């Protein structure tokens, strides 16, 4: 289970932070102008997560990165939970928006999937964060509106529209997590999948009985020859996305746009 999740902080303070209603901007507030902005803080935290993973993001580390004391950082952001929401909402606001206007729901839905995949590739840590209670900031709302419009007008009820989008995005997130796991394995072992399997081929041959598992032997060999390993993130994504959209087509009907 993911150890990090959004909306884990104080709801009122989080929403105020995401929508720019921080204390220094409220009417009647007097005092020196703050040296940093929440946007700068978010970008520093995102850069740290991109480079070292979300576990590296602490209030102390972010303060160091941006040239503040930890206590000063708390005057901008209440805590780590609220900072994570700010990071996610900032990333969502900058996600690519490439869905075509007039090429039908299938092309638009595929573009939404590709856009989310690009987001996960740029920020791998995002795939590991639980968003069952999403950060309801302007970045998320703009992303949600864009994604819903990809399937708008295809004949789905509002509930089915939301469910279809949830299913599509869940598929992309799963692929992103598996792809990140594969890249981490290659980095940790300093071997590609093909090199790892070649290095362990003799051991596998001693313990694997092809006569006992004939289908596994045949299919595994065929897939391994094509993929250069046990798994191909690109093939899994392309194959799975086509099947997800085929399922939508059965629900929608291919004549809908």
Blockwise average pLDDT, block size 10, the chain, 257 residues:
78 93 51 77 98 96 96 95 97 95 92 98 95 92 96 94 97 94 82 79 83 91 85 93 96 71
The domain of 20 spans: 11-93
State which of 93, 115, 142 marks the end of a domain: 93
Look at residue 229 and tell me if it is in a domain.
Answer: yes
State which of 93, 128, 146 marks the end of a domain: 93
Give residue 3's pLDDT: 62
Q: What is the number of other CB atoms lying within 10 angstroms of the CB of residue 140?
A: 20
> How far is it, in rounded angstroms, from Cα 142 to Cα 42?
18
> How far is it, in rounded angstroms, from Cα 208 to Cα 206?
6
Give residue 25's pLDDT: 47
C-alpha distance across the termini of the chain, in Å: 38
Look at residue 257 and tell me if it is in a domain.
Answer: no
Give residue 256's pLDDT: 61
Look at residue 42 and tell me if it is in a domain.
Answer: yes
Comparing C-alpha atoms, which of 197, 184, 198, 169 is closest to residue 233? 184
> How far is it, in rounded angstroms, from Cα 178 to Cα 188?
15
197 and 78 part of one domain: no
126 and 246 part of one domain: yes
143 and 178 part of one domain: yes
**Domain total for the chain?**
2
213 and 136 part of one domain: yes
Give residue 214's pLDDT: 92
113 and 182 part of one domain: yes
The CATH code of the domain that includes 64 is: 1.10.10.60
> How far is it, in rounded angstroms, from Cα 43 to Cα 65?
10
Residue 112: CA atoms inside 13 Å, Cβ hemisphere, count? 28
Burial of 44 (0-12, 13-18, 19+ CB in 10 A): buried
State which of 69, 93, 117 marks the end of a domain: 93
Give residue 159's pLDDT: 97
Give residue 192's pLDDT: 80
Give residue 139's pLDDT: 97
Which H/E stretch holds residue 159?
helix 158-189
């Amino acid at each position: 289970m993911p150890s990090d999740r959004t909306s884990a902080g104080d709801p009122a303070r989080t929403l105020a932070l995401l929508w720019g209603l921080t204390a220094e901007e409220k009417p009647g507030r007097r005092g020196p102008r703050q040296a940093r902005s929440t946007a700068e803080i978010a970008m520093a935290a995102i850069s740290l997560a991109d480079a070292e993973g979300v576990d590296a993001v602490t209030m102390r580390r972010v303060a160091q990165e941006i040239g503040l004391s930890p206590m000063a950082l708390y005057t901008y952001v209440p805590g780590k939970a609220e900072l994570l929401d700010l990071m996610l909402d900032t990333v969502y606001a900058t996600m690519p928006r490439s869905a075509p206007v007039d090429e039908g729901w299938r092309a638009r839905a595929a573009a939404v999937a590709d856009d989310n995949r690009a987001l996960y590739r740029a920020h791998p840590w995002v795939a590991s964060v639980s968003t069952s209670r999403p950060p309801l900031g302007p970045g998320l709302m703009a992303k949600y509106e864009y994604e819903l419009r990809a399937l708008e007008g295809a004949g789905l009820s509002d509930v089915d529209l939301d469910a279809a989008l949830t299913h599509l995005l869940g598929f992309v997130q799963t692929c992103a997590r598996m792809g990140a796991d594969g890249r981490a394995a290659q980095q940790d072992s300093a071997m590609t999948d093909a090199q790892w399997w070649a290095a362990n081929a003799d051991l596998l041959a001693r313990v694997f009985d092809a006569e006992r598992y004939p289908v596994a032997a045949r299919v595994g060999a065929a897939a391994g020859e094509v993929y250069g390993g046990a798994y191909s993130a690109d093939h899994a994504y392309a194959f799975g996305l086509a099947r997800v959209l085929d399922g939508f087509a059965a629900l929608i009907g291919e004549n809908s746009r």
